[in-house]
Chains A and B, each alone.
Chain A
């Protein structure tokens, strides 16, 4: 069975500062990894994903995540955040024969001016 751990429930950061949101997973099989973002009162939006190939994946709005198999991690980073990045971020894993996503508990990114 797979599981996902997001240790930080909330990350406060000042605007234009760098940020890293941590995600670790557990799985006995190869996995696909995802970051979803949820803005207030909205559904989940796919931010980026790792399926295969390059271990560094990027989104169109400046976020990136690196798949590290040895550390079973998929941390999300952005070098300079904006107020508009304030949202909850969910890491998810999908692996083996199952089609369901297993989500972490989410990290609230709170960007302050």
Chain B
């Protein structure tokens, strides 16, 4: 049972444009959401997080939006850079419990 779903296996964006990565979840008890970036041969790197009491969190070029009623979150990267090309994972947890990860979305930023 996939509690966290990333339905787009890949996304291709032109350098300088906006990248939007999407994630859906089924467990309404999730209260903490995170995005990670992973390069080949490296472990995932924490990017940004949001708790369920907020609907938006910004950190530089990265913004995460949370829509609790739709059980949907998204990561916006503006402007996209070639170095952003990586696999992006969304993750969620309930009451400090284990993180549950989506399957990942491969982002390619073309220069």
Q: Do chains A and B stick together as partners?
A: no
Query: Which positions in B face A, CB cutoff 8 Å?
Result: none
Query: Which positions in A face B, CB cutoff 8 Å?
Result: none
